[in-house]
């Protein structure tokens, strides 16, 4: 062997050693410039059921499962751009069928025409976990949690999140329905190849897409590739106008909780099309600004709740006995010269995911008022509002139950109203905490029934004592012909389920008498009393006589 040949042999051996050592995997595959195996080592026969010598000359595509062929192609494109891939799950053909392996790869400067792949069987929890269903639509919260975990894992130094507006309606304009789903599967395979860990991609439940990636990919690349793929499915298809946003999301200055909430808030804004300004060309800068603005709002929210939160009380009256049954505790912000209803603040808190903090602050303040009987008669009962988000938040519920256990003597004076503004999708889980509250002696009410995200499914799934009918239905009883029958039906259904009804927005005696006529036992509204910080001396006026009721004025 000539000296030059020996040098080349040693250089090749050195490169193979480096390639094998950099990942410490089970099998090393060396690919030539045509993508065929030129050398292999390790537990080749156990992994592929073939001897190393029989694998030489085999195209690497012949080793990969059909389901991941497109992803392999994109991984090779990514490798040529970045020179390295780390631990990407991929399906390969094995002796007993498809097997999910971890793929790493490297290109070395001294051998530019050679690609080194290392493969290993997944071990530990990863080996037992099923392949992630990245093509299945997921909720924004779930995808945000995945993104947060990947950012914290340190898998990538410069994590970026790109969101794509690729909804079913937009696809329907370009492809027939039977081909649109196949196209979306291909798009997801493409994005997986560029995503962090090979699974840092999500199809949000409205059809939008999100991908967590490093700086080697940009949104223009994605738009071009997606439209190139579209022409494969339909050469005559018009290009899709893909709106996209990319934001850097290292999150080093955020707690895990705030990072998750910031991601959810950003993705929700994108899903609704609420960019900063109207120019989607500048959307990336807009989202960076939005993230900073959001964190500023969170700080303002926490400051307001910590320093300015106060409670006022409005009576709920038993219409049969004409007695105050209990008071609803309503949150207000003290601005110095007046009390402000924090409707916008609550909306932001629910959207960003910090409403649990407000609910807990109200809870603690209410317990203090009951303990000291400040602004309320001794023995009087109060109802405390809980957001649907809080009811399904494990940490909030654990803290709530602990507080109640420490205040056991106050439990007979407490009720809880669950608001409908946020839909509770896991009703069985929500019902568990409501049952715990009722078992402790606290009555439970569904607030604003009919106004929020769900109505009758709540009656079916949640075990509660009261249903508070939204005021819009009370008003309809005087302005639409279906209003009274609808109210009567709700009251009858609640009664059959063992629940009692509360009518909101009782502004006059006609409304009060209407509620009694329809079988609604309790009323709340300015007719009985406005919210006040001190109701310790509150008394109801005498029950008014029955006048001729207003007639329905609209069909």
Range of the domain at 367: 307-524
Residue 284 has pLDDT above 50, yes or no: no
Distance CA 424, CA 422 (A): 6
Q: What is the pLDDT of residues 182-222, one digit of tens each?
A: 888 888 889 999 998 888 998 887 678 899 998 888 888 88
86, part of any domain: yes
Number of domains the chain is built from: 3
The answer to whether residue 266 sits within a structural domain is yes
- Which is more confidently placed, 247 or 399? 399
222 is a domain residue: yes
Q: Residue 85: inside a domain, yes or no?
A: yes
Q: What is the residue whose two structure tokens read 């009567």?
A: 488
Q: Stretch 328-355: mean pLDDT, rounded?
A: 79
- Assess whether pLDDT exceeds 60 at residue 180: yes
Q: Is residue 549 part of a domain?
A: no
pLDDT tens for each residue of 17-39 = 555 554 457 888 999 999 999 99
CATH code for the domain of 360: 3.20.20.450
Tell me the DSSP string of 401-444. HHHHHHTGGGGGGEEEEE-SSS--S-HHHHHHHHHHHHHTT-EE
> Are residue 244 and residue 354 in the same domain, yes or no?
no
Q: Please tell me the predicted confidence (pLDDT) of residue 555.
A: 40
pLDDT at 500 over 60: yes
Residues 233 and 319 in one domain: no
93 and 49 in one domain? yes
Q: Which of 87, 91, 111 is nearest to 100 (CA)?
A: 91
Planar angle of CA 19, 20, 25, nearest 5 degrees: 130
219 with 336, same domain: the answer is no
Whole-prediction pTM value? Answer: 0.59
pLDDT at 22: 46
pLDDT at 137: 80
In this structure, the answer to whether residues 348 and 449 fall within a common structural domain is yes
Q: Can you read off the two tokens belonging to residue 550?
A: 């207003």
* CA–CA distance, 502 with 462 (Å, rounded to integer): 17
- Residues 266 and 315 both lie in one domain: no
The pLDDT-based confidence of 398 (bands split at 50, 70, 90) is very high
Strand partners, 212: 161
- Domain assignment present for residue 546? The answer is no
Convert the pLDDT of each residue in 89-127 to its tens digit. Answer: 999 999 999 998 999 998 988 888 999 998 988 765 544
Are 255 and 386 within one domain? no
CATH code for the domain of 154:
3.30.70
User: Is the per-residue pLDDT at 268 higher than 80?
Assistant: no
pLDDT per position as a tens digit, 366-385: 999 999 988 999 899 999 99
Q: In angstroms, rounded to a whole number, what is the distance separating the alpha carbons of residues 45 and 58?
A: 14
Q: Which distant-in-sequence residues (6+ apart) come within 8 Å of 505 by Cβ?
A: 471, 474, 475, 511, 524, 525
Residue 545 lies in a domain: no
For residues 419 and 489, membership in a common domain is answered with yes
CATH number assigned to the domain comprising residue 119: 3.30.450.20
Residue 486 falls inside a structural domain: yes
Mean confidence (pLDDT) of the chain: 83
Instruction: Give the pLDDT score at 170.
Output: 81
**Do 382 and 442 sit in the same domain of this protein?**
yes
Determine what percent of the chain is predicted with pLDDT higher than 90: 36
Between the CA of residue 306 and those of 301, 310, 357, 365, 526, what are the distances in Å?
A: 8, 10, 10, 11, 29
Helices within 195-255 (DSSP H only) = 219-233
229 and 70 Cβ atoms separated by less than 8 Å: no
What is the rounded CA–CA span in Å between residue 384 and residue 362? 8
What percent of the chain has a predicted confidence (pLDDT) above 70? 84
**Residues 229, 354: one domain?**
no
Evaluate if residue 544 carries a pLDDT over 70. Answer: yes
Question: Which residues are paired to 89 by β-bridges?
Answer: 102
- Residue appearing with tokens 């502004």: 507
Sheet holding 243-248, edge to edge: 201-203, 209-213, 160-165, 243-248
Least confident of 245-259, 270-284, 342-356: 270-284
Residues 382-397: tens digit of each pLDDT: 999 998 888 988 889 9
pLDDT of residue 402: 94
User: 3-class DSSP state for residue 155?
Assistant: coil
Quick one: 162 and 124 in the same domain? no
Instruction: Give CA–CA dist 70/79, Å, rounded.
Output: 14
Residues 428 and 475 in one domain: yes
Give buried/exposed letters for 366-379 (b at 16+ CB in 10 A, else e). Answer: bbebbeeeebbeee
| Residue 516 near residue 503, CB atoms below 8 Å | no
Residue 181 has what pLDDT? 84
């Amino acid at each position: 062997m000539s000296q030059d040949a020996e040098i080349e042999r040693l250089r090749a051996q050195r490169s193979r050693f480096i390639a094998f050592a950099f990942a410490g995997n089970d099998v090393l595959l060396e690919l030539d410039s045509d993508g065929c195996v030129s050398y292999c080592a390790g537990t080749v026969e156990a992994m592929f059921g073939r001897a190393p010598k029989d694998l030489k000359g085999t195209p690497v595509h012949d080793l990969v499962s059909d389901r991941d062929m497109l992803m392999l192609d994109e991984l090779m494109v990514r490798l040529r751009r970045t020179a390295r891939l780390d631990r990407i799950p991929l399906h390969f053909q094995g002796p007993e069928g498809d097997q999910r392996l971890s793929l790493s790869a490297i290109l070395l400067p001294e051998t530019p025409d050679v690609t080194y792949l290392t493969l290993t069987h997944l071990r530990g929890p990863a080996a037992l976990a099923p392949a992630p269903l990245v093509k299945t639509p997921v909720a924004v919260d779930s995808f945000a949690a995945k993104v947060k975990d990947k950012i914290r894992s340190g898998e990538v130094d410069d994590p970026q999140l790109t969101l794509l507006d690729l909804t079913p309606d937009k696809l329907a304009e370009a492809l027939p329905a039977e081909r649109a789903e196949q196209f979306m599967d291909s798009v997801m395979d493409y994005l997986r190849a560029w995503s962090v860990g090979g699974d840092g991609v999500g199809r949000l439940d409205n059809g939008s897409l999100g991908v967590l990636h490093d700086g080697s990919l940009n949104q223009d690349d994605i738009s071009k590739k997606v439209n190139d793929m579209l022409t494969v499915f339909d050469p005559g298809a018009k290009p899709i106008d893909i709106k996209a946003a990319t934001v850097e999301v290292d999150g080093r200055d955020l707690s895990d909780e705030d990072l998750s909430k910031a991601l959810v808030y950003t993705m929700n804004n994108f899903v609704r099309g609420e960019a900063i300004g109207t120019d989607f060309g500048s959307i990336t800068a807009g989202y960076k600004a939005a993230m900073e603005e959001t964190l500023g709002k969170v700080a303002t929210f926490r400051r307001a709740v910590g320093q300015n939160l106060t409670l006022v009380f409005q009576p709920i009256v038993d219409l049969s006995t004409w007695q105050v049954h209990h008071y609803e505790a309503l949150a207000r912000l003290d601005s110095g010269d007046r009390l402000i209803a924090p409707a916008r603040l609550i909306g932001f808190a629910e959207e960003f995911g910090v409403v649990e903090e407000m609910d807990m602050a109200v809870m603690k303040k209410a317990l203090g008022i009951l303990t000291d009987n400040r602004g309320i008669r001794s023995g009087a009962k109060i109802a405390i509002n809980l957001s649907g988000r809080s009811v399904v938040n494990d940490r909030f519920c654990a803290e709530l139950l602990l507080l109640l256990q420490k205040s056991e003597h106050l439990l007979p004076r407490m009720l809880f109203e669950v608001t409908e503004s946020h839909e509770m999708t896991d009703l069985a889980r929500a019902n568990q905490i409501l049952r715990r509250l009722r078992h402790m002696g606290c009555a439970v009410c569904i607030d604003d029934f009919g106004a929020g995200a769900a109505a009758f499914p709540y009656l079916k799934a949640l075990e509660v004592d009261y249903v508070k009918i939204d005021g819009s239905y009370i008003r309809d009883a005087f302005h639409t012909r279906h209003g009274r029958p609808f109210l009567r039906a709700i009251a009858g259904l609640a009664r059959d389920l063992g629940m009692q009804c509360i009518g909101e927005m009782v502004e006059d005696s006609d409304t009060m008498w209407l509620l009694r006529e329809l079988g609604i036992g309790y009323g709340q509204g300015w007719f009985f009393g406005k919210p006040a910080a001190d109701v310790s001396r509150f008394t109801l006026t005498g029950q008014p006589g029955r006048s001729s009721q207003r007639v329905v004025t609209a069909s």
